[in-house]
Structure 1
Amino acid sequence: MVLASLQDAFGLLRKYPAFWAAGIVAGAAFGLDLLLEFSGEVFFASKVLLLGMLLVPFFAAGAYGTAHREDRSMAVFLEEGKKGYFRVLLPGIVLFFVAMVTLFLLAIPITLILGESALAVAGSTALGVILSLAFFAYFYDVAAVTEELGVFASLQRSGAVVITRLWQVLGFYLVNLFALFALGFGVLIVWSMLVYEKLAPLAESGEAFAFDAANATATQAQFIALLGPDGAMITAVTYAVFIVLAVPFALAFKAAFYARQADGAVEAPIEGEYDEKGRWYRY
């Protein structure tokens, strides 16, 4: 099932350019965000990233809709993007606030129990909350678009798919993570080759470039100075390329897997009989 969905995903990427459009928008937003941060324009960087995050749901909904209707025309893409935009955006906002509220409620007892040591477990706690929500809500966007569901109905549908098809979903997650990790590793190798001349003096000197969480701004400034303007541009472009490749794959793989799960969800026939007056009685 998972491998067949993976094959279907590559077919969707070849047939429907809308998936690539979503990746290009996301890649441009993340790449410009990183480049502006390297340039010290943190204020504008956050605005560019926010704009990109507000545009991606439109392109994702359009991609899901064109694939579901098997029509790659621009008219269908615009129709599905417009119709499914808020169906994709609003549940994401709900999940964001749920995560924030959950972290706030967890922070109170953790701080009371651990005191000053609470900061050490804050990162792992936040990661656990985010992963838990993502695990059950991962399919909400494709469910919302293909089945025309509302905010909470799409989240409920995603959770139902995960629970009822747990082993298939776990296999899907593993393959998805492995593919994205392999892609990221390959892009990292290319980036290392492109900025080798910038990093070579540091590697040859044998000095360790340590990340200081308490002084992250100074550490980032040191890294940017080490890369130089050309290295910063290469890093931003390479990061954008990774997003351009990763987002379409993730969307297409999700759409293909969900479509197969929906096709396999055949309701069991209801058994019963009619009486002499034509009334139906269910066993």
Structure 2
Amino acid sequence: MSVAEFKEACGLLVRMPVLWIPGVVGGLCAAFIWLLFILSGAFFAGRFVVITGLIVLFFIAGSLSVIRQNEGGMGALASGGRQYFFRVLLPQLVILFMILLVFVLVMLTLNLIGIASDPALLVFLSFGVAIPSILMTLFSDTAAVFEDRKVFESIQRSVDIVSQNTGKVISFVLISALASATILFSLMIVWEALLFDKLEPLTTYTEEQLQTFTPDQLLTMIGSEGTWVTAVVIFLAGLILIPLLMSYKACTFRRLAGSTILIQQETGEYDSKGRWYKY
């Protein structure tokens, strides 16, 4: 099933070139952050991560709207971005807050029972809390756009879909990871080929030298030319991955949503004779 949706996503990218716009914007933003990090350091680059992330999210919301309508150009993309930006953003903020809250509560509980925190435990807890939360709320953005759901409704809809289609969702995640790894590995080969002359001295390094080799030394080795080549490769990664993964996610949601029953909790109370009255 997931392979069929992947092929459908590729077909959408061929049929609707406007879906590449989020990739262009995301690639440019990522390359800009990289160059800013090299030129000005992590302090200034970190300040722009949130801003560029919001810009990319605007175009992603617009692209999901275009996929929902199954047609459209730049006008439809911009209109969809304006209409669904906050519907996509707010669930992500709620999810982030929930993850942080659970993490803090777990850490406080461990400290109260006398378990000291160490780096290994922090890493384990981070993955243990974040991965299930992200997986269960994976389709909150698509639910917000495709079904016009509000913040908590979109999160609940995502949880319903994932819980009722766990195997299919895991298949979607695995195919997405495989496609991402393939694209990134291919771009890494291109990067190494373009900078082969500058990276060639690494082949003569001993094992001890390689173990003590630092990222700063690598940046010095590739020089300004390598910095710009890296920026281009980062741009290409964003250009390809963002449209592909978002289109694939939208196609998967559209298929799963049609076969998923929405679980609704009824509110009411029992009377003295045990009869249920719905509010």
Q: Which moved more, 1:193-202 or 1:241-250?
A: 193-202
Q: Residue 274 of structure 1 corresponds to which residue in structure 2?
A: none
Write the distance in 1 (CA, Å) between the matches of 2:184 and 2:87. Answer: 30
1: CA distance, partners of 2:174 / 2:152:
26
Partner of 2:252: 257
Could you say which residue in structure 2 is the equivalent of 1:157? 157
Q: 5+ residue gaps in structure 1?
A: 213-218, 268-283
In 1, Cα distance between equivalents of 2:25 and 2:34: 14
- What is the correspondence of 1:1-283 to structure 2 with a 5 Å cutoff? 1-110=1-110, 113-115=114-116, 118-207=118-207, 208-210=209-211, 219-265=214-260
Question: Are the structure 2 counterparts of residues 145 and 36 from structure 1 closer, same or farther at C-alpha, using a change threshold of 3 Å?
Answer: same
CA distance in 1, matches of 2:140, 2:174: 19
Offset of residue 30 of structure 1: 1.5
Comparing 133-142 with 120-129, greater Cα deviation is found at: 120-129
Q: 1:2 to 1:200 in 2, by over 3 A?
A: same
What SS is found at the alignment partner of 1:149? coil
95-104 vs 2-11, which moves further: 95-104
> Unaligned 5+ residue runs, structure 2?
263-279
- Check 1:263–1:203 CA distance in 2 against 1; reply closer, same or farther (3 A cut): same
Q: Provide the rounded CA distance (Å) in 2 between the counterparts of 1:133 and 1:176.
A: 18
Q: Secondary structure at the match of 1:71?
A: coil
Identical positions, percent: 30
Distance 1:10 1:80 in 2: 21
* RMSD value, Cα: 2.1
Q: 1:259 is aligned with what amino acid? A: R
Q: Quote how far apart the aligned CAs of 1:40 are.
A: 3.4
The answer on whether the counterparts of 2:140 and 2:158 sit within 8 Å (CA) in structure 1 is: yes
- Tell me the equivalent position of 2:265: none
Q: CA deviation at 1:107?
A: 2.6
Contact 1:110–1:118 under 8 Å retained in 2: no
CA contact (8 A) 2:18 2:74 kept: no
1:227 and 1:127, CA in 2 relative to 1: closer, same or farther beyond 3 A?
Answer: farther
Assess if the C-alpha contact under 8 Å between 2:164 and 2:260 holds in 1: no
String of CA shifts for 1:185-241, please: whole Å, max 9, x gaps: 1111111212222221122122543479xxxxxx43223212211112212221221
Instruction: Give the aligned residue type for 2:106.
Output: L
TM-score, normalisation: structure 2: 0.85
Q: Distance in 2 between matches of 1:154 and 1:257?
A: 16
- Tell me the amino acid that sits aligned with residue 174 of structure 2: L
TM-score (norm 1): 0.84
Residues 6 and 253, structure 1, Cα contact 8 Å, conserved in 2 = yes
